Each structure stands twice: as C-alpha cells, then as structure tokens.
Structure 1
C-alpha cells in the first residue's frame, strides 16, 4: 500500500496462502518482481526435488555396501557374552526405560538389526534376535515404522508370546498402578514406559525417540556403549594415581619441614653452650 493513502489500481496477484483471507494489491514494479521471484523459487524447488532423488540413490547404494560389514560385525558380536544388554544398559536414553527384569531378559538378546525400506523416507524395521529364554517363545521380535507420504505414520510390532507369569509389560503396568495408589509413583509421568511397553506402543510413530536412538545411534556404533565401563575405570584409575602422587608430595613436604625445625633447634643449642665459654675467656 502507498504511504500517501491513494488507492493503487488492482493488479493480478500471486495466489495467496489458503489461510490468508485478505487480498493484497501491489504496484506494477513490485508485482513483476514477485512473479520473477516465484519463477526462481519454482526452479529451486525442482532442483531440490532432483537432489533428494539423487541423495536417495546414494543412500540406497551405500546401504547395500554397508550390509556385509554389519553382518560380519553381528557374527563377531555373538562371540562376546552379554554384548547387547551391556550396550543398552550403558546407553543413557535406553537405560532410562529399562526395568531390572527387562535387563535380565535382554541377557538373551544375541543380535540387533535395522533394515531401512528401499524408499528410505518411507520407513524402517528394527529386529531383535533372542536365544531360548524363560520370558517368551519368540525367536525374533520386530517393530516396523511406516512413515511414507501416503497416509498417516503408523507402526506395528510382533505379538510377544509371553510365557505364564513372565509378561513383563503387565508386571510393569501393575507396578505403576501400585505406585500411583501408594503415592510413591507421583514423580513418574503418565507417559513413562518400560522397554517392552515401548516395543508394544504405537502412539506416535513419527516421534518415537527410542526407535530413532536405536536406528541412528545404537545400531551404527554399539561398541562405544559396550566399552563405557572400561573407559570409566581407566579414568578412575588415573584419578587415584594423581591423588596418591599429591598425598606423597604432601608427606615429603612435611618431612622436610620437620628436618628443618630439628636443624634449627640443634643450632640454637650449640649457640647456648658456646656462650659460657666466651664469658670464661673474658674473666
């Protein structure tokens, strides 16, 4: 709009967003510039779309190249007892939802695998492989996430065949209810989940932080979390050594001070004994 208040002639305008109910009028020069910007933006959007297609092809290519390495790594990991449960317990976000009984159950976890769909943006699946265990009869538990542009995001998971008296999801639910009744659970959010209740939950697949952590952090490099205790121990030993050295230095300093005090006392004693001899010579 012009500052003088004169009403400019109405011109053809770019389509306004649907949420905007007000129409806008521009002078011919501004309108022309806006149309040129819109044309440039269309070209940029086309390049961005093409770039996304190229990036997708590159991701698909390297997913295939990485697969043999992941398979080789899985074979090696199976030679290390309790590798995955150790990595899970050491991960700050996963351990936050890990109940004590679930930790015991995860001692039977032998392999973790993440498979992205061919159209990477459309979703992925996480697969947990278990040895025979006292908790459930499944060999593999899978949770899939469908995040494609068609339809709402959705997820689905394997129906866990819990053995009698070992349903960890039900036990967790009962503990939460008992905590709420007794008042001890006041600090716990209603959204608090255990590991297996997360596995069975399909509330908001597009914002599943645990799934994203497993896919983008845990699975790509689990070794860093398995080695956490060793790193902490090494750091702890170093700190103890430094403290010992400091204590030794303090002890050495005190010894020196004591020795200096003894020497001063001896010198004073000698001086006091020599005084009478000098007086005798004077007489």
Structure 2
C-alpha cells in the first residue's frame, strides 16, 4: 500500500493530527475493520462538511458538547484502567483453584474422603484411572464450537492434554493460550501455544494470530493425510504413488491464516474469505479462554451446555418479543388494507476423512503419569 497519509482526501487536511492518524490506522487494518477506502474518504469529507455548515451559535454549543465528551473519555479511560486492575487481581485469586484442579485431574493428589471401602472391588480399575481421565478432551467435545474442530484422529492425541492456561499480553495487546501435553506418540512438543494480537477498541479486532510449529513424529501428523495410488498400467515403476493432502484437524489452530504482505491487488472475495477465517480462528480462541478454562468441570459434566442453551433462549426470546410487536403492527396494517378493499368493492448437504466426533462422552485413557503443574502463564 502506498503512503497512506497522501492517499487521504483533501478534506482530511482540516482534521486534527489525532483524527488523521486514526484514519491512517483504519486504512492499515481495512481487512479487519470492514470499512473500505472509499467509505473512509466519504466519512472524512462528511465530517468536515458538517462542521462548516454550522452557524456560530450552534458551533459554540458543539464546543461545549466536545468538552463534555472529553470529560466522558477521561472517565472511560479510568474505568478501563480499573477494570484491567480488577481482572488482574482476580486472575491471581483464581490461580490456586486452577492449581488444585490440575493436581486432581492429573492424579498428583487425591480428594479427601475416598476410603478403602469405596475402592473395594475396583482396585485394578483404580490403579488404571488416576485423576480424571480425558478431562480436557471431554470438556472441549461438549462445547459445540470446539466439537466441530475435533475429529476421531485428534481424540487420541488430545487424551494426553494435561492443562490449558491463558494470560494477557501487553506488547502487542492480546492474549496467549498454552496447551500442556504429557509425552505422547504424536509430537515432541510438551507445550503448544497460540497467541492472538488484537487491535483494541469497542469491538476488538484480531490483527493476527501465531501458533507453535508442531514437531510431529514420523507418520503421526494429524493435519495431513497420505494418499496412496496404484501406478497406471504399463508404468515402468511398480511403486505406489504417494500424495500428501491437508486435512481437517483441531491442531490446525496452531497454523492460523496469514495476512498477505502485498495487499495491493487482493481480490475482494479473497479478503472476505480471509476475514471469515480469522473470525473463526478468534471464536475458537475466545471460546477456550472465556468458557472452557474458567468452567472446565461444567463442560466436562455437560452442565454448561444447558446454561449456554438457556442464554441463547433468553436472547431469542428478546428478539421474539420484537418480532411479535412487528407482526402485530403488520396485522393491524393488513386489517386496515382489507377494510379499504371492502369499501372499494362496494363501489368495485459427508466428506470422506472428516470423521467429526460431536459426542460429549468420555474417551479412553491416555498416559496418566502424575507430574508437577506447568508454570503459570506470565503476563507479558
């Protein structure tokens, strides 16, 4: 993209330096802001034209309104600062609870009150089932958004997931997810991270996301499938033709969509597709951060599903009331039309390989070696 400052409309020259900087930033992030260049030109011109049409008295009133707005902005800034401090305070208070959850889930400690009588007749089973097997896998499968990302091949690897943590990052702004795994036959990494860089505002916008490069063991990559074809008849080589294709997998979240460096000649359809992919990527990350991590046991037991369903019902009921009012108004109008007409009458669609697993049932046990809890995800 050329020098953005010189591309602004001539009318923008009358804007303050702060407003001009805002327009430049909006242009830089037009992928995410859903506002194209032409609309920005129009907005800049309209902004100046409106001010020029005001009479002296009205302009003076607007100046007073601007002072009020400035006072509001100062209060809002303080609110955001205090909210951030409050969130940080409670995040520290949550940590001991998360630590104990980790220890119980992974069999580091056991809960009080379990006696020998309770385990009578289940000794062999108790030896196999330390902690809570497949805790995180089951919790994520119970959530509709995440269940769509997990297929049968992923389940075996996700049985080794021991903990999920998140923390804010400040430079740049955003948040980071950390997935802690026991040693497993699929990849070498003990921790997989996903970092989301956000453009802050009333409606935060995802600038980009970065995932860990997974070090797959040979022939264990879950994001690719290997296709073997028999050689054509008469071919000199009798060896099968081996082809590798990308496939759907939960682990694709660690290879997120990338924004092209050269954005001059990008087709609108490509921009829209990229935007949809990034929104979906953010939905997955925010679901894990806001729902799964703080309420994991409720998703494991399935109780959170009902709570989520009730929230959706409440929203639909609110929309339904508005729709009913509109229907009543329309009915009244229809009745009036019918009366007018009477007066006038007196005168005259399974893709192979997806293998989606959407059940919230518990899977089989993976490795359950008790280990120390991973270090806390430090705020950066």
The two structures have a TM-score, normalised by structure 2, of 0.47
Q: Which of 33, 44, 47 is residue 18 of structure 1 equivalent to?
A: 44
Which structure 2 residue ranges, 5 or more long, are not aligned? 1-13, 20-42, 107-130, 201-205, 228-246, 259-276, 307-380
Instruction: Say if 1:217 and 1:131 are closer, same or farther in 2 by CA, change over 3 A.
Output: same
CA displacement, residues 10-33 of structure 1 (integer Å, 9 cap, x when unaligned): xxx997963426353222321221
In the TM superposition, residue 148 of structure 1 has moved relative to its aligned partner by: 5.5
Aligned pair count reads: 199
1:209 aligns with 2:294: no
Q: Aligned to 1:91, which of 102, 120, 143?
A: 143
Deviations 1:220-264 (A, max 9, x none): 1011111129x99xxxxxxxxxxxxxxxxxxxxxxxxxxxxxxxx
Which of structures 1 and 2 has the larger relative contact order (alpha carbons within 8 angstroms, sep 6+)? 2
Partners of 1:161 and 1:131 in 2: CA distance: 14
In the TM superposition, what is the alpha-carbon distance from 1:218 to its structure 2 partner?
Answer: 0.6
Pick closer, same or farther for the CA change 1:193–1:48 going to 2, 3 Å. Answer: farther
**Aligned partners of 2:59, 2:67: CA distance in 1, in Å?**
12
Alignment-derived partner of residue 217 in structure 2: 163
What is the distance in 2 between the residues matched to 1:125 and 1:165? 29
- Deviation of 1:46 after TM superposition, in Å, equals 1.2
Uncovered stretches (5+) of structure 1, i.e. residues with no partner: 1-12, 175-191, 233-283
Distance, in Å, in 1 between the alignment partners of 2:302 and 2:91 is: 27
Task: Specify whether residues 158 and 14 from structure 1 end up closer, same or farther in structure 2 by C-alpha distance, changes over 3 A only.
Answer: closer
The one of 35, 40, 45 equivalent to 2:73 is: 45
User: For 1:1-283, what aligned pairs fall within 5 Å after superposition?
Assistant: 18-20=44-46, 22=49, 24-78=52-106, 79-117=131-169, 119=170, 122-147=173-198, 153-171=207-225, 193-203=248-258, 208-228=282-302
Q: Following TM superposition, where does structure 1 have runs of at least 4 consecutive aligned residues deviating by more than 3 angstroms? A: 13-17, 202-207
Contact 1:125 / 1:143 at 8 angstroms: preserved in 2?
yes
Structure 1 residue 106 displacement after superposition:
0.7
Hey, what's the Cα distance between the residues in 1 that align with 2:78 and 2:248? 41
Give the structure with higher Rg (CA).
Answer: 1
Cα pair distance change 1:99/1:14, threshold 3 Å? closer
- Cα pair 2:223 2:252 within 8 Å, conserved: yes
- TM-score (norm. length: structure 1): 0.62
Q: Is the 8 A contact 1:143 1:199 kept in 2?
A: yes
How far has the Cα of 1:90 moved from its partner? 1.4
Contact 1:56 1:120 in 2 (8 A): no
Distance in structure 2 (CA, Å) of the matches to 1:103 and 1:130: 13
